[in-house]
Amino acid sequence: MPATPTNTDPVTVEQILTEGQLLFETSDLYFGHGTDNAWDEAVFLVFYALDLPPDADRSVLNQQLTDIQCKAIHQLFEQRIRDRIPAAYLTGRAWFCGLPFAVDKRVIIPRSPIAELIMSGFHPWCSTEPQRLLDLCTGSGCIGIACAYAFENAEVVLSDICADALQVAQQNIQQHDLAARVSAVQSDLFENLADQKFDLIVSNPPYVDADDYASMPDEYFHEPELALASGNDGLDFTRRLLREAHDYLTEHGVLIVEVGNSGEALDRLFPSVPFLWLEFSEGDGGVFLLTRDQLLEHRESFE
């Protein structure tokens, strides 16, 4: 039987992880901003505090902590529990497509299912590698920057209406050393992208409807409302996007948009439009695809 630790025994990484897990499990927290369970959430915070890589060897579990390290970790646990601050805001860092991104309260925490499409190079939806790609509503820049890794020769534009968010996106462009082919533009939808054409437009826009927004767990209220809420049915932004996107796509261009739970409302709103709902390994992702031809064919529905 393992010896019960006394007050004077040094605490190990494994012990503090278990403590965090138990605390989180019994504190009615919401997980969904980068992790989906109490153990992973504890690992995220403890590894950050100890400056351990996410793929650290299991042997770190036996590492003994100093009092200063324990204190720093307990402070993080307390902030996570007391203030319901998502872990990624406490660490200033999030992971998307296996890549690290700087994040803070100016942008939402990356979690889009579009990551899975990027990792597969949008197969089979892009028959040829896109040359020009737009990440519309870019926030931290995670989608566009991950696309730049997936398509090594593509020019990528990141756009967002929010100047504060774009500062974070710029930071990430620099961090990933991609300034030569990734740029950031402040724009309300396509307003400042006149005359530009893209082979692929990818967007994770605001799409939460008013009822869902009112009942969201506390963690979401640390994220910018502009990034989440989009009118009564959650589709204010997407309606505008569908009206205008065809003008910004090349001949064989493709539009891919995440609308989450608002997908059903979108199908009801435009019953004749053949939205292709993409499949994901973990179930429904609320992401649709339309080609430029389809957007043109149905443009009257969108007016």
Ligand X SMILES: C[S@@+](CC[C@H](N)C(=O)[O-])C[C@H]1O[C@@H](n2cnc3c(N)ncnc32)[C@H](O)[C@@H]1O
C-alpha 24: how far from chain center: 22
Calpha distance 201→252 (Å, rounded): 12
- Nearer residue to ligand X within complex by CB, 135 or 199: 135
- Cα dihedral sign, 71-28-284-250: negative
- Nearer residue to ligand X within complex by CB, 20 or 113: 113
> Pick from 124, 117, 167, 170: which is nearest to 146 by CA?
117
User: What burial class does residue 52 get, using C-beta atoms within 10 Å of its C-beta: 0-12 exposed, 13-18 middle, 19+ buried?
Assistant: middle
Name the minimum Å distance from CB 169 to ligand X.
9
Name the minimum Å distance from CB 109 to ligand X.
7
74 token code pair: 């307990």
Name the minimum Å distance from CB 106 to ligand X.
8
- Nearer residue to ligand X within complex by CB, 77 or 248: 248
Whole-number Cα distances in Å, 146 to 54, 110, 138, 293? 18, 11, 11, 27
- Nearer residue to ligand X within complex by CB, 24 or 213: 213
Name the minimum Å distance from CB 217 to ligand X.
16
- Nearer residue to ligand X within complex by CB, 206 or 263: 206
Name the minimum Å distance from CB 232 to ligand X.
16
C-alpha 128: how far from chain center: 25
Is the N-terminal amide bond of 206 cis, ω within 30° of 0? no
Name the minimum Å distance from CB 1 to ligand X.
47
- Residue ranges binding ligand X (CB under 6 A): 107-108, 110, 112, 137-140, 142-143, 160-162, 165, 188-189, 204-206, 226-227, 237
174 token code pair: 């620099």
Output the residue with the shortest Cβ distance to ligand X. Answer: 139
Is residue 247 a contact partner of residue 190, using CB atoms and an 8 Å limit? yes
- Nearer residue to ligand X within complex by CB, 90 or 227: 227
